[in-house]
């Protein structure tokens, strides 16, 4: 059902099972999947693809041009995965040519009110951004990560799978998978034990990740020394391999 006051560009591809509320604007070259509900006063800009069964609440802005002084109007895109919820006044910008041309929001994300995802960001599935959380350009967020209210993430930062960042944290360096991070100048505070248990990580897996965490961050070793010791002393389960690979591949440096 499309409200008669909504403005829909003729080129938009909208499934017959989509609901669009009053005074919303759907611009050209937009694609919206089955079961998605769009509230009143929403703007979806051109080149945005919205998956099935999403909910977009009033006054959200989805797919607007990137806030980047280098952007010159080139064609770029935004993809929103199925099942994602975008709450009031959230803003999600499409990509830039420099960043590959795409912003990608994964499936079953929950973007609370006033959150912002900037150009060329990528989020995995089941990511939660609490109220006013902000991602600068080119940020990557792993699956099942959670960012608390008023978290600000610097451009090009990577956040690992199942990481939890406490509210009002400023993030300048990469956050490894599975950890708990918090603070005005964010620091690590152990593993995200609550999140790991809620996501059915076994006690044995959590214990091995904890061993690796301690070796890397708590006994004063260099990254190379820690990597060698983890290989020698910690069972090489997939989570430990993921943890160490993230640290090895970090280009900005890892938060400690």
Residue of 120, 138, 166, 174 marked active site: 120
Residue of 21, 99, 137, 195 marked active site: 137
Helix (H) or strand (E) holding 158, with range, is strand 158-159
Question: How far is residue 177's CA from residue 95's CA, in Å, rounded to a whole number?
Answer: 25
The pLDDT, as a whole number, for residue 204 is 97
Helix (H) or strand (E) holding 244, with range, is helix 238-249
Q: Which residues of the chain does CATH 1.20.1180.10 include?
A: 197-249
Question: How far is residue 63's CA from residue 54's CA, in Å, rounded to a whole number?
Answer: 15
The pLDDT, as a whole number, for residue 142 is 98
- Per the annotation, the verdict on 137 as an active-site residue is yes
- What is the CATH T-level fold of the domain 197-249, as seen in this structure? Udp N-acetylglucosamine O-acyltransferase; Domain 2 (1.20.1180)
The pLDDT tens digits of the residues spanning 109-144 come to 999 999 999 999 999 999 999 999 999 999 999 999
Residue of 63, 119, 124, 174 marked active site: 119
The pLDDT tens digits of the residues spanning 82-97 come to 999 999 999 999 999 9
Bridge partners (DSSP) of residue 44 are 26, 62
On whether the 7-141 domain is CATH 3.40.50.620, my answer is: no
Q: Which residues of the chain does CATH 2.160.10.10 include?
A: 7-141
**Residues with pLDDT less than 50, the chain:** none
User: Tokens 């929950």, residue?
Assistant: 110
């Amino acid at each position: 059902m499309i409200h008669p006051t909504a403005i829909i560009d003729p080129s938009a591809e909208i499934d017959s099972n989509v609901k669009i509320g009053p005074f919303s604007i759907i611009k050209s070259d937009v694609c919206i999947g089955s079961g998605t509900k769009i509230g009143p006063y929403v703007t979806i800009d051109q080149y945005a693809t919205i998956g099935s069964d999403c909910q977009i609440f009033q006054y959200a802005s989805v797919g607007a041009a990137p806030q980047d002084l280098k952007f010159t109007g080139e064609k770029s895109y935004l993809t929103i995965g199925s099942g994602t919820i975008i709450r009031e006044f959230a803003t999600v910008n499409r990509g830039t040519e420099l960043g590959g041309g795409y912003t990608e929001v994964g499936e079953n994300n929950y973007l609370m009110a006033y959150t912002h995802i900037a150009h060329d960001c990528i989020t995995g599935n089941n990511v939660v951004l609490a109220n006013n959380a902000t991602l600068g350009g080119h940020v990557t967020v792993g699956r099942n990560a959670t960012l608390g209210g008023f978290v600000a993430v610097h451009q090009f930062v990577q956040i690992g799978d199942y990481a939890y960042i406490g509210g009002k944290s400023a993030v300048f360096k990469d956050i490894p998978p599975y950890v708990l991070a918090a603070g005005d100048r964010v620091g690590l505070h152990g593993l995200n034990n609550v999140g790991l248990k809620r996501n059915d990580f076994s006690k044995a897996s959590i214990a091995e990740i904890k061993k690796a965490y301690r070796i890397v961050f708590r006994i004063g070793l260099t990254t190379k020394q820690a990597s060698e010791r983890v290989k020698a002393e910690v069972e090489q389960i997939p989570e430990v391999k993921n943890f160490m690979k993230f640290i090895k591949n970090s280009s900005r440096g890892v938060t400690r």
